[in-house]
Amino acid sequence: MSKIAQLWRTTTVRLTAIFILLFVIFSILLLTFLAYQSSIQIQQQQTRAIDREVEALRNIDSRQGVRGIVFALARLASQPGPGLYYLGDNSGLQIVGNIDSIPQNVLESEGVFSFDYNGPGFDEQDVNAEGREGYAVVRSLVLDSGLRLVVGRDVIERRGFTAIVFQGFFYAVIGILVFSVLAGVITSRRVLKRIDAINATSAKIMSGNLSERIPVTKANDEFDTLATSLNAMLDRIEGLMQGLKEVTDNVAHDLKTPLTRLRTKAEAALRESAGGETQRQALETTISESDKLIKTFNALLMIARAEAGAPSGAFADVDVSAVAADVAELYEPAAEEQGLAFETAIAPDVRLRANRELIGQAIVNLIENALKYFEPAEGRAGTIRVAVRSAGGRVLIEVADNGPGIPAEDRARVVERFVRLEKSRTEPGSGLGLSLVNAVARLHKGEFRIEDNAPGVRAVIDLPA
């Protein structure tokens, strides 16, 4: 019973039940109308046929007299078919015809009558054994010659036709009900099976197994589409959870060291033997370490802001060429100080609807990254090149160098938060620079790519114009 109740609660079974009910009601109304109209049409045809024969026989009686009407009626009565004929004198004695069991009231009155009758040649024993032989619809009248004429039709076949129609309808309705219920049960069981699979997978995921996925069949139906979408969502969630774990580990590592140094310096400054100079150095170190921590948290906040989507008011018509030129001018002395050639190829008046602050910060991060990790090869002058151009409805911002580059297998990983290819993590920085660039590109409906510059790398921010 619980399984039946569970099936009944499914939308498929309920919709199937409603469909069956509507279909049965419609079928009953339609077949009833057809049977009724068929019966009426047959009855009207029989009535018209009776009227035509009565009129013809009255004409024969008027023109040819008793002899003519007797001859005509004898000929009609001898023909096979549903026709019923009776001709009697004014005392009720039958002269000719193929029916003799006519009720007395039919013989005494004129009009249309219907009655059960027994055909000629049947004795009482046969009648009792076989029951009624037929059902007649007749018209009774008195001819001009004084003879009593009864003309009619046996309508038992019409009744049989109606009975066959309703019998077929009954079996059809039973078949529809049976097959519809079976179809609803089978369909519901399939639906429940797919839903149970989703529920089972969800239970495993909620228990902590994030690698579980909803099974996808080869049916390519709406459940497979839903399963594919949910699996893609689960892949994304698993990736985010894994990234969160890595971020947590890296944050713990990157913050533990400066906080430990802060505590050590503070303890040293609080010692009674510590002089004023020691305390001053401790405060300067505390400020420096605090600035690094603030910078890290500012980067995290900026990434979160970019990934959350800037409000509509934060976008404006920005001259990307001017922004890139200002940043290049700011960092050109730092590059020359490191012995690097600083080149620019900035097309004029490249404009974009964007957030000026974030675009500028992304360019700054790319240039700082190039300066920080550049290692010039022997016999080759180091070069950093900043370019801005417009092509094919896209705005391309590029920062390229001819240094050692980034291995191809690490290019997708370096845009993740706190990922640093320098394993010792002794270099300054937090591993958030390229993550911010990637977030800014996604915020502006674009993409960030790291390509091979042969040698070196070319970092490209590709944005729709």
- For residue 455, whether the previous peptide bond is cis, meaning omega lies within 30 degrees of 0, is yes
Which stretches of 207-346 are DSSP H helices?
A: 222-270, 276-308, 320-337
Position 123 scores a pLDDT of 40
Name residues whose C-beta falls within 8 Å of residue 319's C-beta, 6 or more positions apart in sequence. 349, 350, 351
Name residues whose C-beta falls within 8 Å of residue 179's C-beta, 6 or more positions apart in sequence. none
Q: Residue 377 — very low, low, confident or very high, per pLDDT cuts 50/70/90?
A: low
Q: What is the mean pLDDT of the segment spanning 20-41?
A: 78
Tell me the average pLDDT of the chain. 78
Q: Residue 296 — very low, low, confident or very high, per pLDDT cuts 50/70/90?
A: low
Quick one: tokens of 47? 């009535």
User: pTM of the prediction?
Assistant: 0.47
What amino acid occupies position 291?
D
Strand order in the sheet with 447-452: 341-346, 383-391, 394-401, 457-464, 447-452
pLDDT digits (tens, 9 = 90+) for 86-139: 888 877 788 888 887 788 888 888 888 888 877 553 344 433 334 446 778 888
Name residues whose C-beta falls within 8 Å of residue 252's C-beta, 6 or more positions apart in sequence. none
Position 127 scores a pLDDT of 38
Show the beta-strand stretches assigned E in 54-190: 83-88, 94-97, 111-117, 134-142, 148-154
Between the alpha carbon of residue 239 and those of residues 159, 211, 215, 243, 413, the distances in Å are 76, 10, 19, 6, 12
Separation between Cα atoms, residue 203 and residue 125, nearest integer Å: 81
- Total residue count of the chain as it appears in this document: 465
Q: What is the mean pLDDT of the segment spanning 435-444?
A: 83
pLDDT digits (tens, 9 = 90+) for 51-60: 888 888 888 8
Q: Residue 378 — very low, low, confident or very high, per pLDDT cuts 50/70/90?
A: low
Q: Residue 427 — very low, low, confident or very high, per pLDDT cuts 50/70/90?
A: low
Position 272 scores a pLDDT of 58
pLDDT digits (tens, 9 = 90+) for 7-26: 666 676 677 778 778 877 88
Position 424 scores a pLDDT of 44
Which stretches of 79-97 are DSSP H helices?
A: none
Position 125 scores a pLDDT of 40
Separation between Cα atoms, residue 419 and residue 175, nearest integer Å: 68
Which 3 state secondary structure label does DSSP give 98?
A: coil
Separation between Cα atoms, residue 153 and residue 86, nearest integer Å: 12
pLDDT digits (tens, 9 = 90+) for 322-372: 998 998 888 888 888 888 888 889 999 888 888 888 888 888 888 888 888
What amino acid occupies position 395?
V
